[in-house]
Structure 1
Amino acid sequence: MAAYNKERVLILTPMAKFHQGYWDNLLSLTYPRSLIELGFIFPRTQEGDEALKSLEKQVKKIQNPKNKVEERFAKVVILRQEHESLKSQNEKDRHAFKVQKERRSQMATARNSLLFTTIGPYTSWVLWLDSDIVETPPTLIQDLASHDKPVIAANCFQRYMDDKNAPAIRPYDFNNWIESDEGLRIASTLGDDDIIVEGYSEIATYRPLMGHFYDENGDPKTEMPLDGVGGTCLMVKADVHRDGAMFPNFPFYHLIETEGFAKMAKRLGYDVFGLPNYLVYHYNE
């Protein structure tokens, strides 16, 4: 229906590393490219410079004027961050508990810069897609848009080899959650500038996490209401952003970045949902 209505989709990706799997997956999406605009933002680091060069090569190939119009994206915008980023983008370093407030504040600023620079008057949807997402259904955009929700998140998993060296999957993004009594209690004890970050043993909130609700035999269209979201694969109606829902780079009700965005969207009166049985896959380092 979104493609039939010629709804324009803006896919936004903060990118510190370039994964060929991300780009190949992006090209496999079946939504008409003439209705897709792309936006990227890179940190001013050596890794960021390398990632930018790799992306530019791929963009030049696909946006070549010699290609048919339907093979090219409607628009591609590439930005550089004006602020500093964490020096190490290794999975272990960037997910360490002690750096989360700094890291997520920087990420929020980058997301807002990217959003405010690229969103246009005809943008219908904004799809936040992390640069580590290397596998999604080809119908990702149509599938998420078909729910017609203000904010909806896919369930981000990761493929790996288990102890028996057999292929397996596990939940990856734990920022998609439902608020708990313990989460509210902890928040009530914190200082104004303190934040709660989900998925860490240092703070046990006992929030129900969408990653734990996956049912391999369940309906991929099953929805669940959420209070916090991650940014790995998040579809947002453009009007939600236009109404002022952004990514707080400061503690907002003790939340920050994508989880703070969900809180802000809800404070503005928008419902937030997740799809526990609809999987996308994160790169495994």
Structure 2
Amino acid sequence: MVHYKNSYINYIRRRPLALLAPITLLVIIYFYFFSTASSSSSTKPKYSYNKKSKGWFNNNKDSVILKNLPKNHIKHYDLNKLTISKDALAKKEEVLILTPMSKFLPEYWENLNKLTYDHSLISLGFIFPRNNDGDEALKNLESYLKIAKANNKLNFKKITLLRQDSNSLTSQLEKDRHAFKVQKERRSMMALARNSLVFTCLDPSTSWVLWLDADIVETSPNLIQDLTSHDKAVLSANVYQRFFDDKINAESIRPYDFNNWVESEEGLKIAKGLADDEIIVEGYAEMATYRPLMAHFYDANGDKNTEMALDGVGGGAVLVKADVHRDGAMFPSFPFYHLIETEGFAKMAKRLGYEVFGLPNYLVFHHNE
């Protein structure tokens, strides 16, 4: 663990099987040599609890007496006092930004640092595939973190770098990772990575979780304030892409993320005809659902705060109330109502009673490879 001023970077490399053998051996040695000594020692408990206490959350400093523990070893959190509101910044609500990263783009990092939400209230979490692409992305991000630290510009509350312990696609080229035939495998892997990330990084003090893809290189500096102001359980921005249009000889924009959608009769019909282990993948001609896609509802002259009820979401820029994850909404790596990963997450959130929305006129921009 490396400490930085008001923030720290937590490196987590998960190899549980490699640790199991030595830990088991240490436990056996411990019980063999110390069981006798323990049985003859005093039976007085290490910890004592003052019976006069009214509970863990009162102000009586003598109510709980814990001996033989380091100072401040135990922390108390009352989640009933945790606020999740449209006035997030004013109430100093903590935001966790989570990003699966198979490649590092300097534009992503620069955009992240331009966010005007108080950085001391923001924690960052990244997960990297355990392959050459992941190694390179991790190396590049670490370099930028060191530069930021040297310039006293690393002021996020906490940064967690996590190495993925599940498989990932060999090629991360856009044409390869978006091929129709690999979608079930790819998105199952992505779901596992997202679950590892949120389960590892979510703190009791977290109010909001912002899923921000590593390819998102341009957003409003007020992205977090803009999204939290809607006070929605799940809210997705509309992901577009800038490109040079030869037809008009100028830069233009085009829709990119087609995973923000409203269910259709054709989609339901297709689902009924699928085997239990098959999924519907949106945005491909091979499986035309004719679902209304939020990407096609963008109005350049429309109100950016216009909301649209959704049944599926992508992962480009999605704000989630932390309680949605705490209540059990995760990213299914298996067919869930014939949906998987982010679209499966939206379905799971709705099954838990939460509403899912999108902002068709609020754009964020994806990197153009």
Fold shared per TM-score above 0.5? yes
Is the counterpart of residue 246 in structure 1 residue 330 in structure 2?
yes
- Is the contact between residue 22 and residue 131 of structure 1 (CA under 8 Å) also seen in structure 2? yes
Structure 1 equivalent of residue 278 of structure 2: 194
Structure 1 equivalent of residue 132 of structure 2: 46
Deviation of the 1:246 alpha carbon: 0.2
Is the counterpart of residue 92 in structure 1 residue 175 in structure 2?
yes
Segment drifting more, 43-52 vs 209-218 = 43-52
Distance 1:178 1:265 in 2: 15
- Counterparts in 2 of 1:103-252, with a 5 A limit? 103-164=186-247, 165-252=249-336
Deviation of the 1:4 alpha carbon: 0.8
Deviation of the 1:188 alpha carbon: 0.3
- Alignment partner of 2:189: what SS? helix
Is the counterpart of residue 57 in structure 1 residue 143 in structure 2?
yes
Distance 1:61 1:19 in 2: 15
Aligned match of 2:111 in 3, 19, 25?
25
Query: Deviations for 1:110-140, whole angstroms, at most 9, x for unmatched residues?
Result: 0000000000001000000000000000000
Aligned match of 2:366 in 266, 279, 282?
282
Deviation of the 1:247 alpha carbon: 0.1
Distance 1:83 1:238 in 2: 24
Which ranges in structure 2 are unaligned for 5 or more consecutive residues?
Answer: 1-86
**TM-score normalized with structure 1 length:** 0.97
Deviation of the 1:59 alpha carbon: 1.7
Query: Deviations for 1:203-235, whole angstroms, at most 9, x for unmatched residues?
Result: 000000000000000000000000000001000
Deviation of the 1:58 alpha carbon: 1.2
Query: Deviations for 1:21-69, whole angstroms, at most 9, x for unmatched residues?
Result: 00000001000000000000000111110110010111223345x727x
- Alignment partner of 1:254: what SS? coil
Identity score, percent: 72
Distance 1:108 1:184 in 2: 23
Distance 2:124 2:163 in 1: 15
After superposition, the CA RMSD in angstroms is 0.9
Is the counterpart of residue 67 in structure 1 residue 152 in structure 2?
yes
Distance 1:250 1:284 in 2: 30
Which ranges in structure 1 are unaligned for 5 or more consecutive residues?
Answer: none
Structure with bigger RCO (C-alpha 8 Å, 6+ apart) = 1
**TM-score normalized with structure 2 length:** 0.75
Is the counterpart of residue 255 in structure 1 residue 334 in structure 2?
no
Distance 2:298 2:263 in 1: 18
Q: Which one-letter code corresponds to 2:183 in the other structure?
A: Q
Structure 2 equivalent of residue 6 of structure 1: 92
The 4+ residue runs of structure 1 with deviation greater than 2 A are 60-64
Segment drifting more, 157-166 vs 246-255 = 157-166
Q: Which one-letter code corresponds to 1:18 in the other structure?
A: F
- Is the contact between residue 178 and residue 227 of structure 1 (CA under 8 Å) also seen in structure 2? yes
Distance 2:178 2:116 in 1: 33
Distance 1:265 1:142 in 2: 22
- Alignment partner of 1:244: what SS? coil
- Is the contact between residue 125 and residue 237 of structure 1 (CA under 8 Å) also seen in structure 2? yes
Distance 1:87 1:263 in 2: 29
Distance 1:254 1:171 in 2: 25
- Is the contact between residue 153 and residue 233 of structure 1 (CA under 8 Å) also seen in structure 2? yes
Distance 1:76 1:191 in 2: 41
Deviation of the 1:163 alpha carbon: 2.3
Q: Which one-letter code corresponds to 1:50 in the other structure?
A: E
Q: Which one-letter code corresponds to 1:100 in the other structure?
A: Q
